Structure 1
Amino acid sequence: MKRVGIIIAVIVLLLVGYLGYKQYQASKTTGTPNTISESAETVGNAVKGTIQDLLLAGKSVTCTVNDETAGGGTGIIFVSGKKMAGDFRTTVEGETTESHMITDGTYSYIWSSGQTEGVKIKVDEAKITPGASGQPGSNEAFDLKKETGLKCTPWAPDNGKFNPPTNIRFTDLSAMLKNIQQTTTTGKTTTPQGSPCDQITDAAAKAECVKALGQ
């Protein structure tokens, strides 16, 4: 059960982080200087920055990610415009989790190694602010807005990297994230009819989903 909870935390934080990036991107003034855009062009150069800034740069790069802080982890990401694919390894309370994320510009898909189920979210349907009360802390997984070590090289885009695996069943959690947004805005927990947790077939994962939503 503890391992399932860790996986749920990883999934929620990655979704919240990416959606926070989308909201930030929408409000960002055109032409604002970006340090990562220049750093990413330097082959083999290790820099400090955020994955969010890397995405905002609009480059086609592949980067290794190394978070040396407590509870951090490692990963590799492939970026091309608004698309991203990433493989991450994080350790929380002695439990190591390998999680994967693909964003194809319309949906974000997230799943963990060894699992047959994952989640997806239509990124344009939700506006989530990271760091809101009740959301996982940044030490539980990779936070796209957290400064971390990046070592990037130019990359010739391979669109196959942005295709979700066909052997994973993805549950659409758009409704759940809308509920989180509503809770963050009003301060009151609302229970949507037909909870997205009902779509999760694994009993332990479903229980953790319900707990995370406070239902």
Structure 2
Amino acid sequence: MNKLLIAVVLAVLIGGGGIYYYNNVRGEGSVSDNGSKEALDKTEETQGPRTLQALLGLGQNLQCSFSSEGLKEGKMYISGKKVRGDFTVEDETSAESSVSMIQDGEWVYYWGSAMPQGMKMKLDLSAQADANASTGNQWTQVDPNVALDYNCDAWRVDASKFTPPANVEFVDLETQLQMMNY
């Protein structure tokens, strides 16, 4: 269960870092999705140790694989402000679980094989930053610029990758936290 929690926290951080970068550094409308050969040929800069923020800054449609502490393997799909992550983790008994997340520019969705329901959160990073500053939230102390050994290739965007699964019931995490007075 600890590794599952680590995977969910990592997914939140990766997703939040990507949205923060796009909202504060890249700006609106800076990524094109024309599917041209030129866009598919520009992936030589995407191999090796990089931060997710650096990959997002390339403005390319990418499919990246990586591994990290607490994760057996991960795969990210990047297109514009949309990011999807599919992660495989091992628990204490070496049983594998899968965790996925989608960040669509407005919401972040999380679900996994060991979770009875999915979770969703509305993205409002400016309000979240204010809340974190006033409460000393631990999430602000994690560096979103951690370099991982990504292996990325260009891909033709499959919009279904950024659509939450219809067979998973998603619970609004903000509502749940308010009910717990967190």
Structure 1 and Structure 2 fold alike (TM over 0.5): yes
The aligned residue for residue 88 of structure 2 is 89
Q: How many residue pairs get matched?
A: 163
Deviation at 1:62, TM superposition (A): 0.8
Q: In structure 2, how many angstroms separate the alpha carbons of the residues matched to 1:162 and 1:29?
A: 20
**Any conservation in 2 of the 1:110–1:118 contact (CA below 8 Å)?**
yes
Structure 1 length as normaliser, TM-score? 0.60
Q: In structure 2, how many angstroms separate the alpha carbons of the residues matched to 1:167 and 1:75?
A: 22
The aligned residue for residue 23 of structure 1 is 20
The aligned residue for residue 49 of structure 2 is 48
Q: In structure 2, how many angstroms separate the alpha carbons of the residues matched to 1:25 and 1:50?
A: 14
Which residue type is aligned with residue 152 of structure 2? C
Identical residues among aligned pairs (%): 28
Q: In structure 2, how many angstroms separate the alpha carbons of the residues matched to 1:16 and 1:174?
A: 16
What secondary structure is seen at the aligned counterpart in 2 of 1:28? Answer: helix
What secondary structure is seen at the aligned counterpart in 1 of 2:70? Answer: coil
The aligned residue for residue 174 of structure 2 is 174
Q: In structure 2, how many angstroms separate the alpha carbons of the residues matched to 1:144 and 1:89?
A: 20
Which residue type is aligned with residue 50 of structure 1? T
Which residue type is aligned with residue 174 of structure 2? S
Q: In structure 1, how many angstroms separate the alpha carbons of the residues matched to 2:137 and 2:121?
A: 21
Q: In structure 1, how many angstroms separate the alpha carbons of the residues matched to 2:19 and 2:164?
A: 20
What secondary structure is seen at the aligned counterpart in 2 of 1:119? Answer: strand
What secondary structure is seen at the aligned counterpart in 2 of 1:65? Answer: strand
The aligned residue for residue 99 of structure 1 is 99
Higher mean alpha-carbon deviation, 46-55 vs 163-172, is at 46-55
Q: In structure 2, how many angstroms separate the alpha carbons of the residues matched to 1:133 and 1:65?
A: 28
Deviation at 1:114, TM superposition (A): 4.7
**Any conservation in 1 of the 2:26–2:57 contact (CA below 8 Å)?**
no
Unaligned runs of 5+ in 1: 31-39, 180-191, 197-212
**Any conservation in 2 of the 1:111–1:117 contact (CA below 8 Å)?**
yes
Q: In structure 2, how many angstroms separate the alpha carbons of the residues matched to 1:16 and 1:48?
A: 18
Unaligned runs of 5+ in 2: 28-40
RMSD: 3.5
Deviation at 1:80, TM superposition (A): 0.8
